[in-house]
Amino acid sequence: MTTRRKFLTTAGIGGAAALASPAIVQAQTAIKWRFQTYAGAALGEQVTKPIIDYINSAANGELEIELFYADQIVPTGELFQALQRGTIDGVHSDDDSMASPTPLRQFGGYFPFATKHILDVPVLFNQYGLADIWREEYAKVGVAWLSAAGQDPCNFNTKKEITSVADLDGLKLYTFPTAGRFLAQFGVVPVNIPYEDAEVAVQTGELDGMAWSGITEDYTVGWADVTDYFLTNNISGAWIGSFFANQERWAELPDHLKQLVMAAIEAGHTYRNQWYWGGEARLRAKGEKLALRTVPAAEWAEVENAAKEFWNEVAEEGEIHQKIVSIFREYNDVINQAGPPYTFG
């Protein structure tokens, strides 16, 4: 008992306090980040929040990240500027939506027919050199590019039934800037509004639908409740999006926290792969809100062929553009030779 009393007395004076002090110091000196995603709250729950939760639970109080959803701090189109000047410390977005002032802008989001499946994106970045290009280009403008991954394809969910390419003519669609530029040649009218306003815009007639996502997202965010049809043809097999950090804030992180952030991001990529892949199949097969429609492959080839010319136009815009388009061509040549399941049919 004497020994125990002596221990308790010592602990009360210095021992326990000394053991607890590192945690106290960590709590007092926690690095705090503000992080905004391109996604609204319902979608962000699946595509961004798991990564932030992982970091916050594993960082032992050393790093605390507050998550904001689409347009909550700044409009999505101003994300890059806010990240660059440090208003926001981290971002999850595609280059296109956040108006990246780099040659990479139009390759983020949905670059027409650059991909066929969700796994094409990490392959392109990790095996075909896109990661090096993204890292170098963003370093030039004061932003740390961390990692890219694929998500869902870019299909159409609309009030109007689409059974031919001609049915695209006149449709007012919420879509990505580059996708809208491409689709305009078929008569689509791209509409740029805040993400969370899109559902109401369909109800008021401002929009006829969206060319923004696959069917998983349509059901998740409520778009399947206000549109009637889902076109199984797509203009891109996978969204290309990335995680970014303010360059100075990233440099300030200790190496072990950088490793933690990267581990969380990679775990998040894995989660989204299965969430989207499984959702696309299940909701096409069993979803009851959207009627599936398909333009015959022979006719949809008109859209695919237009993408080839679009690639040629983009490649002429600069050296980096040409390099990226050549990588897409190289990869598509490989998967076309490989055949199914890398290609359709």
H-type helices in 69-176, by residue range? Answer: 79-85, 120-127, 130-139
Name the pairing type of β-strands 155-158 and 229-231. antiparallel
CA angle, 244 then 245 then 251, to 5°: 135
Please, what are the domains in the chain? Answer: 31-151+238-281 (3.40.190.170), 155-235+287-338 (3.40.190.170)
Distance of CA 176 to the CA centre of its chain: 12
Q: Are 150 and 341 in contact (CB under 8 A)?
A: no
SS3 category, 103: coil
Q: What are phi and psi of 34, to 5 degrees?
A: -110, 130
Alpha-carbon gap, residue 196 to 221, rounded angstroms: 9
Q: Are 46 and 220 in contact (CB under 8 A)?
A: yes
Q: What are phi and psi of 270, to 5 degrees?
A: -60, -45
Spell out the per-residue pLDDT of the chain, length 345, in tens. Answer: 444 434 333 344 333 333 343 444 444 589 999 999 999 999 999 999 999 999 999 999 999 999 999 999 999 999 999 999 999 999 999 999 999 999 999 999 999 999 999 999 999 999 999 999 999 999 999 999 999 999 999 999 999 999 999 999 999 999 999 999 999 999 999 999 999 999 999 999 999 999 999 999 999 999 999 999 999 999 999 999 999 999 999 999 999 999 999 999 999 999 999 999 999 999 999 999 999 999 999 999 999 999 999 999 999 999 999 999 999 999 999 999 999 999 986
Per the listing, tokens 């050393």 go with 62
